[in-house]
Amino acid sequence: MTKLQSAFEKFDDYNQKDPNLFQWQGESYPREYFLAVRLYDWVKKIEPGASEELLLASRSQHIGRWEIPREEYPEGRTAYLKWRSELALYHAQKSGQLLQEAGYDEETIARVQQIILKKRIKLDSEVQTMENALCLVFLQYQYEEFHPKHPEEKVINILKKSLLKMDAHGHQFALAMSFSENGLYYIQQALALL
């Protein structure tokens, strides 16, 4: 088994412990395991020549996310941002630990963590690929369930923020997807605000 395969196995085993289930096409999966594999798939689709570090980051971007639930933080934007920040650091630390167990050196681990923490987005092409892939996973697997549960203004605002984080390459993939009538309408409204 290669180091890459060993690391993927460790990440997948860890994410399969997620008690939260994700429903997709009539099947149930541990949520973070399902989303990690889909993120990895999108990274490979966007960047067929992705580096080993980017592939490793994609498979561990949200590793163990269920262990720091949003409910443990107060309501409001400040608390939400604090949760996201602490979560990102946790993912980077957990990923680093498992990469070390898989035999990776400190330099590789540091690069994977840099991508996970999304340092220098818009300047670092690998971080940008990760951001594109994260937004595409949301659009493909979570958006159609998400938008009917929230007010139009909130949905459009979230879409606008997501689309702004993406680049033109990511937008091409997003616009090639199929959406419901309402789903497409919200995306068009968000695009008009860019």
In-domain check, residue 148: no
In-domain check, residue 65: yes
In-domain check, residue 109: yes
Portion of the chain with pLDDT greater than 90, in percent: 88
What's the average model confidence in pLDDT over 138-148? 93
* Tokens matching residue 136: 């595409």
* Tokens matching residue 72: 């443990």
What's the average model confidence in pLDDT over 62-89? 93
pLDDT given at position 34: 97
In-domain check, residue 168: no
Stated pTM of the model = 0.93
Per-residue DSSP letter, 120: T
Domain residues for the domain of 13 are 3-117
Cα–Cα distance for residue pair 139/141, rounded to 1 Å: 6
Query: For the chain, what is the domain count?
Result: 1
Whether 1 has a pLDDT exceeding 90, the answer reads no
What's the average model confidence in pLDDT over 148-152? 93
3-class secondary structure, 21 = strand
In-domain check, residue 51: yes
